[in-house]
Amino acid sequence: MSRGWKDVRDHIKRQILNSTYKPGDKFPRDKDIALELNCARSTVHRAMRSLADAGIVERRRKGGTFLKPEPVTRTTLSIPITRVEIEDRGYEYRHFLVSAKATKATPAIATRFGADKASRLLQIQALHLADNRPYVMEDRWISLDTVPEFVDVDLTQISANEWLVCNRPYSRCDVQISAHTITGEAGKFLEAAEGAATLVLERTTWIDDNPITHVTATHTPGYRLVTKG
Amino acid sequence: MSRGWKDVRDHIKRQILNSTYKPGDKFPRDKDIALELNCARSTVHRAMRSLADAGIVERRRKGGTFLKPEPVTRTTLSIPITRVEIEDRGYEYRHFLVSAKATKATPAIATRFGADKASRLLQIQALHLADNRPYVMEDRWISLDTVPEFVDVDLTQISANEWLVCNRPYSRCDVQISAHTITGEAGKFLEAAEGAATLVLERTTWIDDNPITHVTATHTPGYRLVTKG
DNA sequence: ATCTATAAAAAGCACCTACATAATAATGTC
DNA sequence: GACATTATTATGTAGGTGCTTTTTATAGAT
């Protein structure tokens, strides 16, 4: 009947499309689907897992496989190192360290990192430039408890962004995206008109339960974030 | 040595962490890693594929497996049906059809859909409300060539958003995120102050090579998009 | 009736074999 | 030397077997 796991996946997708299964419905057991399509259970398993990864289907041991009650659009956002992002667009990259100082956590940071883990912090402000024009301004907090060796990094040579991404793989990353009108200081550094809309990305990364860093990246007006999925 | 594919994955992750492999480096063949870790090639394959899916590693037939030259933060964005998003936040959902008319494609839409596929279009503007307060305004184009049955949908009963997501699974979806200051008409419907910053999500969905719909969703000021990964 | 232990069911995983596919390297031809 | 052909190689996939894990359902004990 069908040949590869992608065919099986597409077959099931098609059934979802023409309402053979409706949201919340239970699918037959992998074994039975395999029997029906004349393939191995592992092939159905592979197809179902890909559908589960895509958020289309939900699988539970013993329970079986269900069509997700409410379809969700799931897409992948790729955030490269800022230098790479700029160079990929064909611009010359430069970065500029605005300030770096050890400070006490603001309540917002303390909450985000966990009250007990927000000691020994470094706050860094930096500007990334594309062809000498402002591209993104970042306001970053770094946990020196988690990354003590960061104090030895020469931030005139490498940006905190690049050093951390390259040297501190993380196990978890939260991202928040919002829009703001530009405020005084950021506007000055970004050379943007007062009141312009900017896209702001906030990222927090963790290694196990230890916070590595939290960045608020304010982009120049007109910036677009593109995803593929 | 190791037991499951997750152990193999974590073993490799650990090696990446402590610079056993540096960006751009080539990994041994799956077979050799399997030999070294005393497990089956398929187990290594499973682990490597998960690392490839996560964007950490790159695999090429014949070529082998490489550590991605430039680490990329990859995160997943989930966009539920607007009704569900609003109800999940504990608000009462309502939607309001502003306008629906058959019109000619703008150059922007023609480019996006493909010049030859931008005939027979429907343009819809709708407002989604949470507890009777504006939540998001959508400006949508629908290809009636791809979705002819859409003309029979009663948009006072169900939003175009929900009908399409539930009835027209797509094979591809592009998302673009940007920030804009609110303009006259959208500002009126969203009851937002002139000049406020709004997060704008543009989505285009396709079934094979046929465009289904393109939406520009303008959110109320203060909206935050959250991802987990 | 309520809680608890046990059994059963379905997905998940590990391992194996065999073959397919695609990209590269080596070779031959002009 | 430039180009086409062929061989090689590492990943990708299909199929099969047998076991594990988790969760549900059931039977038993109080």
Beta strand extents in B4-71 (DSSP E only): 57-60, 64-67
pLDDT of residue B115: 79
Banded pLDDT at B32 (limits 50, 70, 90): very high
Mean pLDDT, range B62-71, rounded to an integer: 91
Please state whether strand C lies within 7 Å of residue A65 at its CB atom.
yes
Structure token pair of residue B206: 């396709």
Mean pLDDT, range A194-210, rounded to an integer: 90
pLDDT of residue B48: 97
pLDDT of residue A185: 83
pLDDT of residue A229: 65
By mean pLDDT, which of A57-61, B37-41, B148-152, B208-212 is the weakest?
B208-212
Banded pLDDT at B1 (limits 50, 70, 90): low
Instruction: Tell me phi and psi for residue B39, to 5 degrees.
Output: -140, 180
Q: What is the mean pLDDT of chain B?
A: 91
Query: Each residue of B43-61: pLDDT tens digit?
Result: 999 999 999 998 899 999 9
Mean pLDDT, range A124-136, rounded to an integer: 96
Banded pLDDT at B202 (limits 50, 70, 90): very high
**For a pLDDT cut of 70, what percent of chain A falls above it?**
98
pLDDT above 80 (res B208): no
Identify the residue whose tokens are 């023409």: A18
Cα–Cα distance for residue pair B130/A73, rounded to 1 Å? 20
pLDDT of residue B2: 59
pLDDT of residue A2: 58
String of DSSP letters for A10-76: HHHHHHHHTTSS-TTPBPPPHHHHHHHHTS-HHHHHHHHHHHHHTTSEEEETTTEEEE-SS-EEEEE
Using the beta-carbon criterion (under 8 Å), do A179 and B166 form an inter-chain contact?
A: no
Position with higher pLDDT, A209 vs A210: A210
Banded pLDDT at A210 (limits 50, 70, 90): confident
CA of A160 to C1' of C16 (A): 47
The long-range contacts involving B44-53, CB below 8 angstroms and separated by at least 24 positions, are: B44/B5, B44/B8, B46/B5, B46/B8, B47/B5, B47/B6, B47/B8, B47/B9, B47/B12, B48/B12, B50/B5, B50/B9, B51/B9, B51/B12, B51/B13, B53/A53
Cα–Cα distance for residue pair B1/B17, rounded to 1 Å? 20
Mutate to test the interface with A, among B199, B201, B206 (most CBs of A within 10 A): B199
Predicted TM-score (pTM) of this structure: 0.86
Mean pLDDT, range B177-187, rounded to an integer: 90
pLDDT above 80 (res A208): no
Query: Each residue of B99-157: pLDDT tens digit?
Result: 999 988 899 999 999 878 777 899 999 999 999 999 999 999 999 999 999 999 999 99
Banded pLDDT at B71 (limits 50, 70, 90): confident
Position with higher pLDDT, B150 vs B229: B150
Nearest nt to the CA of A60 via C1' is: C11
Cα–Cα distance for residue pair A225/B4, rounded to 1 Å? 37
Q: What is the mean pLDDT of chain A?
A: 91
Question: How many contacts (CB atoms, under 8 Å) link A and B?
Answer: 150
pLDDT of residue B229: 65
Please state whether strand D lies within 7 Å of residue B4 at its CB atom.
no
Mean pLDDT, range A199-219, rounded to an integer: 92
Distance of CA A114 to the CA centre of its chain: 20
Pick A229's closest partner by Cβ from B53, B173, B195. Answer: B173
pLDDT of residue B133: 95
Structural domains of chain B, with CATH? 5-67 (1.10.10.10), 82-219 (3.40.1410.10)
Using the beta-carbon criterion (under 8 Å), do A197 and B174 form an inter-chain contact?
A: no
Mean pLDDT, range A177-201, rounded to an integer: 91
Position with higher pLDDT, A70 vs B200: B200
Closest protein residue to C11 (Cα–C1'):
A61
Query: Each residue of A20-70: pLDDT tens digit?
Result: 998 899 999 999 999 999 999 999 999 999 999 988 999 999 999 999 988
CA of A32 to C1' of D26 (A): 25
